[in-house]
Structure 1
């Protein structure tokens, strides 16, 4: 099959949950013999790149961004005229979706998240999204919470729950954190952006003296977070590691005791880094958002779940996980849940099955 993925960004260079997911899936599809293209914006001059796996990435010139959305007329024009067995768009991405809406190929979408910061655009964008859903052969979501969102209420017959899979490249041996006896080592992995709630985590750290925190990732909020860490007197216990490639990231999971995802917005729809951490045997502390994160990490089963934007509640959960027996029990359950539900190979198998049915 010729399969085309459409989004606004791609990894590399942007390391985020959706961009890394698209890159991993595109590579896996190409390795299975499919012809795969990816169309994104994100560059000053349009160009085409061929990845080592054979995936062809079309990067279209953007004139700028408004509310995180690229202004890229070339992306619309190119996607509109694509000929493919499947065009798979990743939403929300209004610019790319206009081109997909005008395309006549069989269409599949993954509905990754609701509008949050751009919610005021809903009256206008909602009409485009609904018309696009009308044209979809299948609408994929990562969990039951996303499947029940009001945006999908009129299209439930097309919705298929397909949890994201953890890339095998990000699963290490876990041997490091099994033999460590020092202060509890916390890990966060993700973009340093507003909805990740890292300010809450730093304030919680100030309440838990016998703990260290490693923050892996980069983003526009990094300078402000580093300043807050210094202001709170945490400079000797909090490390900002920046972006890490796969091997170093897998080692970071192995060298931690607990993964923390303190997000504060429904923009956090699944928590892909959390599922990666769980696959590496780490219990998780996450926040109750009414999204897929509540399904990925089960309270008192694979980790602990606390209210968002509450440093005291987050600090209490971290304090509880200083108990090595509780940590071990939750970590074993987390690893088993990841093995059962977040298999990358199974995800790709099911995705190909969806594509094949949508072609018929």
Structure 2
């Protein structure tokens, strides 16, 4: 039995966090997976995200406070040695830093690191830190999309050649609704959804403004974050309280997608978001801003990309989607390219014997 530890910044509902939970849940039987969250306290996180309770015996929280902490390196090193860890898998720069420092001179631990986007490396401090960490340890660098891989090679310089392993979702869990009736123009309310952390880079103000003057439309936004109040104020200012609903975090994302006719993502920065894969796996078409690696995850027959991330562009595209009918379904595209079992198999091929 090999012991693998997924190291992430925190365990709040989000794309990376759901991804590592699925890796733990669906990993092959001869690899046991633990998750270490650098930040957060266990009881608080279990209360905020109840689904974690089913896996709590393999969840470890280091409760790191803001700033760089030497004590966290020591904590992490102790956890890894106590578990007899053979593989660590880190996600983004914080876990990369602590993963590298905690495993210095521990030659028996293999380090796989996944970058889920490259736009954060526009910050020179983060760029130089990433370059340093990649030099300090022998790390297998993974990009979660071809676009991310090319961006990493460009910004990290010569000699950096990441392996591309596409993000995956549980396509058995995210399956189509058997009762949802396809929308026909003007026959009922057209239901739009978005699932995202409510942060500035998701540009949800664009989506809210885009649907303001479209009749017979409802928008449901799943997620929470620091921009929630600003977005709620915008809804009030535009008198859209009957059209826009904030439903917060939900553990029933399948049920959320099953109610939708269209999933819209207006982000200004992205890697390859899981939400668009989940929606399409449920046969919900997507409309997305053309940023990062989003284009790689959009079904060409049913999905649409917006080049200019503006209110008018999304307004026009949503109205066009309401009139559009297609004989295609996006699920086949997702099951062929983004099934999580294929992703896990690809990661396992990187593990040294």
Give TM-score, length-normalised by structure 2.
0.85
Shift of 1:212: 1.1
Shift of 1:72: 4.2
Shift of 1:242: 0.5
Establish whether residue 35 from structure 1 lines up as the match of residue 39 from structure 2.
Answer: no
Cross-structure match for 2:146: 144
Shift of 1:43: 2.6
Indicate the SS of the match to 1:147. Answer: helix
Establish whether residue 96 from structure 1 lines up as the match of residue 102 from structure 2.
Answer: no
- Output the aligned Cα RMSD: 2.7
Which structure 1 residue ranges, 5 or more long, are not aligned? 66-70
Comparing 339-348 with 117-126, greater Cα deviation is found at 117-126
> Per the alignment, do residues 51 and 238 of structure 1 end up closer, same or farther by CA in structure 2, a change over 3 Å counting?
closer
Residues 47, 58 of structure 1: 8 Å contact kept: no
Indicate the SS of the match to 1:113. Answer: coil
Indicate the SS of the match to 1:38. Answer: strand
Establish whether residue 277 from structure 1 lines up as the match of residue 279 from structure 2.
Answer: yes
> Distance in 1 between the 2:45 and 2:256 partners?
33
Shift of 1:101: 5.7
Deviation readout 1:103-132 (Å, 9 max, x if unpaired) = 431111111122539814246424324425
Indicate the SS of the match to 2:19. Answer: helix
Alignment of structure 1 residues 194-343 onto 2, 5 Å: 194-245=200-251, 248-265=252-269, 268-289=270-291, 291-298=292-299, 300-325=300-325, 328-329=326-327, 332=329, 334-343=330-339
> Per the alignment, do residues 85 and 54 of structure 1 end up closer, same or farther by CA in structure 2, a change over 3 Å counting?
farther
Give TM-score, length-normalised by structure 1.
0.84
> Distance in 1 between the 2:250 and 2:197 partners?
12
Cross-structure match for 2:73: 76
> Distance in 1 between the 2:239 and 2:125 partners?
40
Shift of 1:36: 2.1
> Per the alignment, do residues 97 and 118 of structure 1 end up closer, same or farther by CA in structure 2, a change over 3 Å counting?
farther
> Distance in 1 between the 2:308 and 2:93 partners?
24
Cross-structure match for 1:164: 167
> Per the alignment, do residues 114 and 222 of structure 1 end up closer, same or farther by CA in structure 2, a change over 3 Å counting?
same
Indicate the SS of the match to 2:9. Answer: coil
Which structure 2 residue ranges, 5 or more long, are not aligned? 47-51
Shift of 1:160: 1.8
Cross-structure match for 2:13: 15
Shift of 1:140: 1.6
Cross-structure match for 1:174: 177
> Per the alignment, do residues 46 and 242 of structure 1 end up closer, same or farther by CA in structure 2, a change over 3 Å counting?
closer
Establish whether residue 352 from structure 1 lines up as the match of residue 353 from structure 2.
Answer: no
> Distance in 2 between the 1:46 and 1:227 partners?
32
Shift of 1:96: 2.4
> Distance in 2 between the 1:32 and 1:144 partners?
29
Cross-structure match for 1:68: none
Shift of 1:190: 1.4
Shift of 1:195: 0.9
How many corresponding residue pairs? 335
Deviation readout 1:207-258 (Å, 9 max, x if unpaired) = 423311110111111111111111112111111010110xx21011111000
Residues 171, 280 of structure 1: 8 Å contact kept: yes
> Distance in 1 between the 2:172 and 2:101 partners?
33
